[in-house]
């Protein structure tokens, strides 16, 4: 036989256990890792270090794209800049106008909440994170951003963009974080129909442009074009941020539930960056609610769990989240 | 005393790093489902055709790197790659003698096994991806094999 084949009959490493044994050991190690990772609490640190270790690869892959962006920013024409400037000025004027009203509304809101001893849950601090142009798993709606635990990003943090709710942080490394978008099939976000106050859940479908609202009863008041906002239940997302616009509403008489699709308002597949927000996500405890209800028994609408005033229809429907505590007779009903 | 095999670590690491990067380079949407599993191909090449193989630990490490890079369940790709690397190492002498198309067929089988293990683990872990498109990379990977062997041998990598 040829000398090459003679060589190959030696064990692969000249010392050490046989190939089969090493397969068994490594496979067992992989299985152990998977189990530990699936339980999630054990190896967060390992995850963090690994993601830091592979970050250079992400960075290098992203580099041409960001270099191109930087170059095109440097090389924009004077005319282009003037045009953009004009556009931004107009936009700014409009936004300032709206802000004037917002300031007074916010103060009023604050006063009302103080009167109810509730906590104002608006975004307090935000951080702009750039989305790296890398492809993660094509069958899941996830992105990688360039901010991590060094900037105090944490798991479960809400991510928004200029037009709506984007998603939440799923894993955090030292310098990067993975965000699961609201359109991921594994993601669901508690929402509220802005017009009627009906609460439900919006579930991702695996496509950037589509959410489903599968848990609405057939007689729910919902029409095409309704705005869907975050309800703040669950404490991950701040309440009241726009999530989606209702698309098709299918009422099948033979089904007990509606089939409602909605289009996310955030530019899920086009955003170059997202906003990570910190807000006081202390979910109001039933006790808080009870004391608020007792101290202010005049307001019949006040006691929904998330502290967002809702109209009669929602307050009147049987809401399982309401405190079933016999000592709170005045809690909204 | 047998000669200790020469391992060209820098080339090896570079090769794996490039193939890792190739799995996350942004592609147009229509092309993305077709992206072959470059790391699996590289690992197979190293196991089958490089003069002195590196072996299972390398396959395991590259698999772990894929998992970390793509945010998948840690150990998923590591397990799949170790298994196909083991088979490739066992059959290395036979496969080497095959003509190139025949080799492609074997690679197809190995990649299919790799993808099947991933599919299986996805199912157990509770996020199954059941579209038929997930099997496309197996086809494209096997189709890429002649190109890759040609390229790697041309580069005269003695990893």
Rounded Cα gap, residues B5 and B55, in angstroms: 13
- What percentage of chain A has pLDDT greater than the value 70? 74
Q: What is the dihedral of CA B23, B24, B26, B31, to 10 degrees?
A: 30
CATH of residue B94's domain is 1.10.1760
Rounded Cα gap, residues B20 and B148, in angstroms: 15
A276: part of which helix (H) or strand (E)? Answer: strand A273-279
Task: Please indicate whether, in this complex, the C-beta atoms of A50 and B68 are within 8 angstroms of each other.
Answer: yes
Which of B:116-145 have CB within 8 Å of A?
A: 121, 125, 127, 129, 131, 134
Residue B129 is nearest to which of A14, A37, A139, comparing CB atoms? Answer: A139
B95 shares contact with chain A (CB less than 8 Å) = no
Rounded Cα gap, residues A57 and A321, in angstroms: 46
Q: Is the ipTM of this complex over 0.90?
A: no
> Does residue A183 lie within any of the structural domains?
no
Q: What is the mean pLDDT of residues A232-260?
A: 87
In which band, very low, low, confident or very high, does the pLDDT at A313 lie, cut at 50, 70 and 90? very low
Query: What pLDDT does residue A285 have?
Result: 45
In chain A, how many domains are there? 2
> Does residue B101 lie within any of the structural domains?
yes
Phi and psi for A285 in degrees, rounded to 5? -75, 155
Greater model confidence, B103 or A284? B103
CA distance B105 to chain A (A): 23
Q: What is the pLDDT of residues B105-130, one digit of tens each?
A: 999 999 999 999 999 998 888 777 77
Task: Please indicate whether, in this complex, the C-beta atoms of B83 and A57 are within 8 angstroms of each other.
Answer: no
Smallest CA–CA distance from B118 into chain A, residue: A34
Q: Is the pLDDT of residue A5 over 70?
A: no
In chain B, how many domains are there? 1
Task: Please indicate whether, in this complex, the C-beta atoms of B125 and A139 are within 8 angstroms of each other.
Answer: no
Which residue in A6, A10, A12, A39 has the most chain B C-beta atoms within 10 A of its own C-beta, making it the best mutation to test that interface?
Answer: A12
Task: Please indicate whether, in this complex, the C-beta atoms of A61 and B57 are within 8 angstroms of each other.
Answer: no
SS3 string of A164-228?
EEEEEEEEECCCCEEEEECCCCCCEEEEEECCCCCEEEEEECCCCCCEECCCCECCCCCCCCCEE
> Does residue A301 lie within any of the structural domains?
no
Residue A134 is nearest to which of B26, B33, B89, comparing CB atoms? Answer: B26
> Does residue B29 lie within any of the structural domains?
no
- Beta strand ranges found along chain B (DSSP E): none
Rounded Cα gap, residues A177 and A290, in angstroms: 38
CA distance A232 to chain B (A): 26
Q: What is the pLDDT of residues A183-237, one digit of tens each?
A: 988 899 999 998 888 899 999 988 888 899 989 888 888 889 999 999 888 888 8
> Does residue A193 lie within any of the structural domains?
yes
> Does residue A331 lie within any of the structural domains?
no
Domain that holds residue A263: 188-267
Residue B79 is nearest to which of A5, A30, A46, comparing CB atoms? Answer: A30
Mean pLDDT of chain A: 76
Domain that holds residue B61: 9-20+34-154
Task: Please indicate whether, in this complex, the C-beta atoms of B92 and A8 are within 8 angstroms of each other.
Answer: yes
> Does residue A47 lie within any of the structural domains?
yes
Task: Please indicate whether, in this complex, the C-beta atoms of A27 and B82 are within 8 angstroms of each other.
Answer: yes
> Does residue B3 lie within any of the structural domains?
no
> Does residue A136 lie within any of the structural domains?
no
Question: Of A63-77, A260-274, B114-128, which range is least confident?
Answer: A63-77
Which of A48, A75, A102 is the endpoint of a domain? A75
Which of A9, A42, A75 is the endpoint of a domain? A75
Cβ neighbours around A46 below 10 Å, total: 15
Q: Is the pLDDT of residue A315 over 60?
A: no
Q: Which residues of B touch A26 (CB under 8 A)?
A: 56-57, 60, 78, 82
Task: Please indicate whether, in this complex, the C-beta atoms of A133 and B134 are within 8 angstroms of each other.
Answer: no
> Does residue A36 lie within any of the structural domains?
yes
CATH of residue A235's domain is 2.40.10.350
Smallest CA–CA distance from A52 into chain B, residue: B68
Q: What is the mean pLDDT of residues A56-70?
A: 84
Q: What is the pLDDT of residues B12-47, one digit of tens each?
A: 888 888 888 888 888 877 888 888 989 999 988 888
Task: Please indicate whether, in this complex, the C-beta atoms of B56 and A22 are within 8 angstroms of each other.
Answer: yes
Q: What is the mean pLDDT of residues A122-126?
A: 69
Task: Please indicate whether, in this complex, the C-beta atoms of A133 and B55 are within 8 angstroms of each other.
Answer: no
Residue B75 is nearest to which of A14, A33, A133, comparing CB atoms? Answer: A33
């Amino acid at each position: 036989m040829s000398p090459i084949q003679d060589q190959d009959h030696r064990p692969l490493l000249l010392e050490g256990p046989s190939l089969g044994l090493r397969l068994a050991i490594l496979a067992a190690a992989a299985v152990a890792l998977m189990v530990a990772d699936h339980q999630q609490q054990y190896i967060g640190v390992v995850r963090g270090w690994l993601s830091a270790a592979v970050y250079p690869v992400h960075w290098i892959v992203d580099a041409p794209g960001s270099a191109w962006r930087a170059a095109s920013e440097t090389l924009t024409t004077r005319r282009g800049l003037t045009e953009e400037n004009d556009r931004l000025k107009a936009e700014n004027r409009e936004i300032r106008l709206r802000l004037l009203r917002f300031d007074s509304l916010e103060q009023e809101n604050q006063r009302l909440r103080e009167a109810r001893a509730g906590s104002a849950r608006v975004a307090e601090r935000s951080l702009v994170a750039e989305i790296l142009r890398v492809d993660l798993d094509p069958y899941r709606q996830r992105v990688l951003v360039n901010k991590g635990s060094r900037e105090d990003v944490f798991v479960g943090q809400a991510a928004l963009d200029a037009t709506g709710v984007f998603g939440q942080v799923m894993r955090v490394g030292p310098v990067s974080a993975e965000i699961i978008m609201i359109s991921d099939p594994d993601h669901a976000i508690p929402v509220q129909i802005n017009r009627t106050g009906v609460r439900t859940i919006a579930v991702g479908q695996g496509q950037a442009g589509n959410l489903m609202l599968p848990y609405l009863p057939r007689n729910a008041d919902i029409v095409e074009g309704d705005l869907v906002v975050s309800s703040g239940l669950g404490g991950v997302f701040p309440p009241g941020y726009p999530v989606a616009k209702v698309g098709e509403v299918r009422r099948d008489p033979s089904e007990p539930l509606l089939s409602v699709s909605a289009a996310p308002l955030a530019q899920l597949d086009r955003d170059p960056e997202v906003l990570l927000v910190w807000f006081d996500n202390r979910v109001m405890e039933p006790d808080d609610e009870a004391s608020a209800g007792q101290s202010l028994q005049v307001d019949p609408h006040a006691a929904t769990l998330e502290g967002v005033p809702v109209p009669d229809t929602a307050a009147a429907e049987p809401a399982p989240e309401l405190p079933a505590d016999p000592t709170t007779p005045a809690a909204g009903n | 005393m047998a000669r200790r095999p020469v391992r060209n670590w820098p080339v090896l690491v570079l090769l794996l790093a490039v193939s890792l990067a190739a799995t996350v380079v942004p592609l147009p949407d229509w092309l993305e489902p077709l992206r072959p599993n470059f790391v699996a191909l590289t690992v197979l090449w190293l196991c089958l055709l490089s003069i002195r193989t590196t072996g299972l630990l390398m396959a395991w490490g590259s698999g772990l790197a894929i998992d970390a890079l793509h945010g998948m369940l840690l150990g998923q790709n590591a397990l799949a790659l170790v298994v196909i690397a083991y088979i490739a190492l066992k059959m290395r002498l036979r496969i080497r003698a095959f003509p190139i198309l025949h080799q492609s067929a074997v690679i197809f089988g190995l990649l299919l096994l790799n993808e099947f293990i991933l599919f299986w683990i996805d199912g157990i872990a509770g996020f199954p991806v059941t579209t038929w498109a997930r099997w496309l990379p197996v086809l494209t990977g096997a189709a890429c094999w002649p190109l890759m062997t040609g390229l790697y041998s041309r580069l005269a990598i003695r990893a």
